[in-house]
Structure 1
Amino acid sequence: MTDSHAPSQAIVIGAGLGGLASAMRLGAKGYAVTVIDKLDRVGGRGSSITQGGHRFDLGPTIVTVPQGLRDLWAACGRDFDRDVTLKPMKPFYEIRWPDGSSFRLHADKSATEAEVEALSPDDLPGFRKFLSDAEDRYWFGYEDLGRRPMNELWELVKVLPRFVWLRADRSVYAHAARRVRDPRLRFALSFHPLFIGGDPFRVTSMYILVSHLESAFGVHYAMGGVQAIAEAMANVIRDQGGQLKMSTEVDEILVEKGRAAGVRLVGGTQIKADVTISNADAGHTYTRLLRNRSRKRWTDAKVKRQRWSMGLFVWYFGTRGTAKMWSDVGHHTIVVGPRYREHIKDIFIRGKLADDMSLYVHRPSVTDPSVAPDGDDTFYVLSPVPHLGFDNGVDWAVEEDPYRQKMLAMLEERLLPGLSDRVTESLVFTPETFRDRYLSPLGSGFSIEPRILQSAYFRPHNVSEELPGLYLAGAGTHPGAGVPGVIGTAEVMGQLVPDAPRPMAPPLPMAAE
């Protein structure tokens, strides 16, 4: 592949957060890294689009475990806080129900408990017990399993008793229902899996650890958006001697002598490498990038049988002259619809686009003036919807605008009165956008759903079972989706890739096929 005196080369497919974190760790190991991405800027789902003076942050909006990023920077001999400014959210977010009641989660424990007492005083002891349960699962599921490889069956066998003791077979919602009785609090303690693509009524209760992440580490916003984190990562990679090739799509992973040997780009150009990391979706990696290789585990049929996360309908819009309007609407608001369990079934089981919806509303302009023109606002409103894999799939060419209009009506009624007259810029992403822009199977928002038999050992491994020399990072591998998760996939991958055996050098030039 390369002669014994050539520098060790690594290729990372995809400049999402998992790919950028992987490139940083490989650079710290002595590899000359080339990152390749089909988009025109770094960040993947964490990138942004600027339109009419409004910067729309397209994907993740919060940072819940800053230490994961600080550890990543430290591994590269850098200081994260010199490169990125995080601002703590106060409160973390607000939940609003149809009956007019609300709940705010605060960094201050007593303030949060006061919110619980206002809703349901009898549930306060159960709320405290739930947070204790979440901490137990954090130490096991996040700090232990989530920070080490789970590609060997023995690693699973060793922890099975702990899974049983923690009742990993129970769903997030079922666990919340055992601790509190008020349906509003049950929602507040169980909706989090939706932000990593999971059905709260079926995802393992191990994921209640997210509640501990919030209470222990806080909820933060990166000034400049998650795009600012991605750009800071890219700067580290360049400083390490790596390069980023944007607006460039990988067509196939090369195989020589039974090992990953680099990539072939759309158009035929080849780039050779000693190590290849795919931050593309695991499903895309196996069914498209390895389409010409026989696979034993992740066959096309096996990938098709996986349960995939839901799709997302996201409306990005700018408003004129509203900076001093809607003073009761903060940075993060969740506007809950009239149904919970049945709506979730519509999304994950029936594949039905319901008339009602629950919305996550992101208003970064109350924190970061750079996102909008002076006096204006920038918004991002997200609604979970079915992915594209159902037989009765949604025709988004027909449904996109009617669904946006329903979203607008709900926002005007429940949160932002007078919105219709204030909208100046508008951009909509549907599951079809996720399929085409991010090469996401079935247009899913978060790759493979994190059910118990699709987590840890059962998820696509960080070291490929199909091809030596190929490693995986990103939401589709272990430990999973969410900013802490995808940053963690790079940490686990870094434990599996050996240090570069040859000294750092500039990446090899491309060679035409």
Structure 2
Amino acid sequence: MLTHALPAHGAPTHPATTAGTARGKAPPHAVVIGSGFGGLAAAVRLGARGWRVTVLEQLDAPGGRAYVYKQDGFTFDAGPTVITAPFLLEELWALCGKRLADDVQVVPVSPFYRVRFDSGEEFNYTGDPAQMRAEIGRFAPGDVQGYENFLKASEAIYKVGFEQLGDKPFSHWTDMAKVVPQMVKLEAWRTVWQLACKHVQDPRLRVVLTFQSLLVGGNPFATTSVYCLIAFLERRFGVHFAIGGTGALVTGLVKLIEGQGNVVRCNTSVAQILVKDGQACGVQLANGERLAADAVVSNADSATTYRKLIAPEHRKRWTDAKIERAKYSMSLFVWYFGTKRQYHDVAHHTIALGPRYQGLLTDIFDRKHLADDFSLYLHRPTATDTSLAPPGCDAFYVLSPVPHLQGDADWTKAAEPYRQKIERRLESTLLPGLSKAVVSSHMITPLDFQDRLSSFRGAAFGLEPVLLQSAWFRPHNQSEDIARLYLVGAGTHPGAGLPGVLSSARILDTVVPHGDEVAAAARA
């Protein structure tokens, strides 16, 4: 578990409050529900703009999906593990007059990913243009130019989808209408798979150029090709890892929040968002305590926020029926394990593909069927940071995309047999002798996403990122139903993934007034 020196559960001392009171300007109070990256980034940004902030976390340590498990001398990041666009993190430290490097060492990872096909062939996906051309040429010489064309298309999408729109609120339908011509020009109506197929012919390379959408919860055969911007994002900024694990970033962000005089309260569950005269005015905790607030920011799953935390009479757009009709991302089965030996030839990030690609994704997303085969993401952080395991050992996690809880699996019975099946697969391919080498083990299933992380249907990434659930069609960053309620995280715009959730917090700078403005309005 993370061992933050968290403040007590009582009211914190806020230096900003003391200064503000002396000027007759008591800072307004914001409550942030959830301490995932979206919630922590939101707290930092609000604190930098004159708000007094209380972050509420139901778990016993901050991080949300970026929780950390420590056991048997191993450190296991629950996820995320792929850091792109590190400038979004650097920006948060800069808002506090600090440097990211002063608190967290973020280092590049190469290759970005090693893609292992079922045949045993391996493709090293890197950020080096010459190396990528050589790898493409090794598989399919005729696709080298097609890859370059795909990357140009990715860059064009990035410049619009990320640079221009990624941190802009889509509060009105007119915001969407304005960008439709650009999106049509960029072929956003295509899926990720269709855009890759337009440019490269080799079926293996099509997989290499499309699996990234799965890292944000999207089926490449259904997800809008806007998500092809990931290819250029990775090329431009690289793939990175935080020494000490992703949890080191969580620790650093909590330190920033506390340095602003604000507070993170763990073991604190929110039962209801309080609404008065159509405005969020605070929260009621599971223990009955009420916290008044001038704004509420929910980093909780967007479906759970509306369905569980807000009474039906306060909702017009996000009704129970609409929430239940929506499409949700897949879930995940994750096995964290430590070995008493090291596997030096295994990369930091490995995509281990099974015998099927489209068929498997159809089973997961459409049929909601737990198939006998699987494709896996294997994370070996000790390839970069040996401190995450005892000497001579390796720390791993292996992730298998699986259907969310509308599927046919009973995870109370299926979890251990599924883990064993994955263990056998890894032992026969990437990790020889694995079954005898494992000395620490922990697993999470879709039930954990539902029951522990409060994700509707156990969907690991919230709403599925199809075209009609993107931008204006997603739950808005500024609630359509309730004034002074704001959403950040994977379930709102722009979507899942570390750059997405950090950008959702960036949007608060546009839609939430400065603390001084709120204080002045309260005095008027």
| TM-score for both structures, normalised by structure 2 | 0.93
Q: Distance in 2 between matches of 1:188 and 1:475?
A: 24
Deviations 1:115-174 (CA, angstroms, capped at 9, x unpaired): 111111111010110011000000000011112111111111111111111111110011
Q: Which of 269, 286, 307 is the matching residue for 1:249?
A: 269
Matched, 1:310 2:325: no
In structure 2, the partner of 1:38 is: 58
Cα separation, 2, equivalents of 1:211 and 1:6: 46
The residue number in structure 2 matching 1:210 is: 230
Alignment partners' CA distance in 1, 2:218 and 2:67 = 22
Q: Contact 1:248–1:265 at 8 Å: present in 2 too?
A: yes
Residue 486 of structure 1: SS of its match in structure 2? helix
Alpha-carbon distance between aligned partners in 1 of 2:313 and 2:447, rounded to the nearest angstrom: 27
What per-residue deviation string (whole Å, max 9, x for no partner) do you get for residues 416-442 of structure 1?
111011001111110001111110000
Give the distance between the partners of 1:97 and 1:62, measured in 2 at CA.
21
Are 2:308 and 1:288 equivalent residues in the alignment? yes
**Separation in structure 2 between the aligned mates of residue 408 and residue 384 of structure 1, nearest angstrom:** 15
Preserved CA contact (<8 Å) 1:31 1:503: no
Would you identify which runs of 4 or more consecutive aligned residues in structure 1 move more than 2 Å?
3-7, 75-78, 291-294, 501-504
Question: One-letter code of the match for 1:95?
Answer: V
Q: Which amino acid aligns with 2:297?
A: I
- The one-letter code matched in structure 1 to 2:458 is G
Which structure 2 residues correspond to residues 458-473 of structure 1 after superposition, within 5 A?
458-473=473-488
CA distance change for structure 1 residues 7 and 34 in 2, over 3 Å: closer, same or farther?
same
Matches within 5 A, 1:47-446: 47-320=67-340, 322-323=341-342, 326-390=343-407, 393-446=408-461
Q: Measure how far apart 1:69 and its partner are.
A: 1.1
SS at structure 2 position matched to 1:352:
coil
How far off its partner does 1:93 sit? 1.3
How far residue 452 of structure 1 moved from its aligned partner, in angstroms, is 0.5
Pair 78,293 (structure 1): closer, same or farther in 2 beyond 3 Å: farther
Structure 1 residue 100: deviation in Å? Answer: 1.9
Residue identity matched to 1:140: V
Q: What is residue 464 of structure 2 aligned with on the other side?
A: 449
For residues 291 and 422 of structure 1, the distance between their equivalents in structure 2, rounded to whole angstroms, comes to 51
Q: Is the 8 A contact 2:297 2:487 kept in 1?
A: yes
Residue ranges of structure 1 left out of the alignment (5+ in a row) = 505-513
Residue deviations 1:364-410 (CA, integer Å, cap 9, x gap): 112112211111111000000000024xx310111111111110111
Matches of 2:109 and 2:27, distance apart in 1: 45
Amino acid in the other structure paired with 1:490: A
Q: 1:205 to 1:292 in 2, by over 3 A?
A: closer
Cα deviation, residue 77, structure 1: 2.4
Once the two structures are TM-superposed, the CA of residue 502 in structure 1 deviates from its matched residue by 7.2
**Structure 2 residue aligned with 1:482:** 497
State the match for 1:496 in structure 2. 511
Counterpart for residue 511 of structure 1 = none
Checking the alignment, whether the CA contact within 8 Å between 2:275 and 2:314 is kept in structure 1 is: no
CA contact (8 A) 1:317 1:424 kept: yes
Structure 1: how far apart are the matches of 2:217 and 2:121? 26
8 A contact 2:105–2:242 mirrored in 1: yes
Question: For residues 85-127 of structure 1, what are the alpha-carbon distances to aligned partners after superposition, in whole Å with 9 as ceiling and x for unaligned?
Answer: 1110121110011112111012221011111111111110101
Tell me the percent identity.
48
CA separation in 1, counterparts of 2:330 and 2:437? 31
Residues of 2 paired with 1:480 and 1:160: CA distance? 18
CA shift for structure 1 position 503: 9.7
Counterpart-to-counterpart distance in 2, 1:180 and 1:113: 13
TM-score, L = length of structure 1: 0.95
Change (3 A) 1:292 1:156: closer
- Alignment partners' CA distance in 2, 1:276 and 1:134: 36
What 5-or-longer segments of structure 2 have no aligned partner? Answer: 1-20, 520-524
